[in-house]
Amino acid sequence: MPFFFGKQAVNTYQIVRRNLLGLDKELQKSFVTSKSGVYRQLADLLVTQGRLPEARDVLDMLKEQEYNDFVRGENATTSRPTSLSSQERKSDAEFQKLKNEITANGERWSELQHKPSRTAAEENEFKDLSGKITQANQKIDVFFNQLYQQYAPTANSQGANHQVAISREVSGSLQTLVSDLGSGTVALYTLVVDNRYRVIVITPTVMVDRDTAITSDELRRKVFALTEKLRDPTSNPLPEAQALYKVLVAPVENDLKGAHAQTLVWSLDDVLRYVPVAALHNGQEYLIERYRNVIITPASLPFLDKRPDMISVQALA
């Protein structure tokens, strides 16, 4: 729900910014500065839900203004709207239709209401418009209730139990895979839950569960902070890379040493799919300097032991 209306607000500000083009630069900058909190609040909400590309898109709108100030020019993308999902586009179309319906009837209704006296025809029109506005407001109420249902968090105990069942099934498959690949290969099956990061360390002989106490919101913020730093070649990403290393890898360091790990096979959950694990840093070296890192998905499991047929492949990388 907050995402839908947050995007509505940001898109409205983007329209205003487009209308300000050509006016005094300080006026444009002042408007963006005054509304930057809304952009950042929406981005933060999106981060807490693991919707990093959308959060980055919202923040990029602010950075575009900074870029324009730097080059002293006008960028046509400054006033672009934020992207909507297919469900949000559908909701937006319905919301606009309801707003237009109320607006169209409301102006005439207000005009008739403030008349000192109305003719019989105007009185009938006033009653008819009152009924239409009442119906439109009822539709708005229904629409809002549907929004709460569509955009409410879906996590529940049944969903958690289903996730546990999937984890067990995939872990078994990963242990078979690790056994086939031989010594030196360790699989790490990750799971993001509300107040904890969990990782199952899988070797040919054992499976052990490790965890770190951290909320999913905080974990998502750490991932977003690292990916943002990595996008900026002038920044130093080591603090963020080390902070995330402590959460994701530090709990299993002793297990990896004991297994003489050389290759880590990662199955990444939720927001962790955006993490470039090779860039994690333990304070002395990057993870890529210690291990080969392979990212897999549950769908790829049945095919990981098959060699690709490269004889007839023509490719450009």
Burial 87-107 (b: 16+ CB within 10 A, else e): ebeebeeebeebeebbeebee
**Which CA distances in Å does 315 have to 295, 304, 306, 310, 311?**
22, 21, 20, 10, 11
Question: What is the b/e burial string over 192-210, where b = at least 16 CB atoms within 10 angstroms of the residue's CB?
Answer: bbeeebbbbbbbbeebeeb
Does the domain formed by 157-301 have CATH 3.30.420? yes
Is residue 78 helix, strand or coil?
A: coil
What φ, ψ does residue 143 adopt, rounded to 5°?
-60, -45
Residue with tokens 């030196």: 184
pLDDT at 102: 72
Provide the residue-wise pLDDT of the chain in tens; the chain has 317 residues. 556 677 777 777 777 777 777 777 777 777 777 777 777 777 777 766 767 677 767 767 766 655 454 444 444 445 566 666 677 677 777 777 776 777 777 777 878 888 888 888 888 888 888 888 787 777 766 766 666 566 555 444 444 455 555 565 566 677 777 777 777 889 898 888 778 888 888 887 777 888 889 998 899 999 999 999 998 889 999 999 999 999 999 999 998 998 899 999 998 888 898 899 999 999 999 999 999 999 887 667 667 667 777 777 888 87
pLDDT of residue 249: 95
pLDDT score for 83: 63
The closest alpha carbon to 274, from 208, 213, 236, 229, belongs to 229
For the four alpha carbons of 5, 10, 14 and 16, in that order, the dihedral sign comes to positive
DSSP 247-308: HHTGGGHHHHHHTT-SEEEEE--GGGGG--GGG-B-SSSBGGGT-EEEEE-GGGGGGTTSPP
Of 133, 184, 193, which Cα lies nearest the Cα of 161? Answer: 193
Give the other-Cβ count within 10 Å of 129's Cβ: 20
Using a CB cutoff of 8 Å and minimum separation of 24, what contacts does 26-34 make? Answer: 28/65, 29/65, 29/69, 32/62, 32/65
Quick one: pLDDT at residue 180? 76
φ/ψ (deg, to 5) at 196: -160, 145
- Give the whole-angstrom CA distance, residue 168 versus residue 164: 6
Q: Give the C-alpha separation, 45 to 195, whole Å.
A: 17
Q: Where are the domains of the chain?
A: 2-71, 86-151, 157-301
Residue in 210, 199, 247, 250 with CA at minimum distance from that of residue 225: 247
C-alpha distance from residue 109 to each of 95, 96, 103, 106, 137 (Å)? 21, 20, 10, 5, 14
Which pLDDT value is given to residue 130?
Answer: 85
Strand 196-202 relative to strand 185-193, pairing: antiparallel
Of the candidates 246, 256, 251, the one whose C-alpha atom is nearest the C-alpha of residue 187 is 256
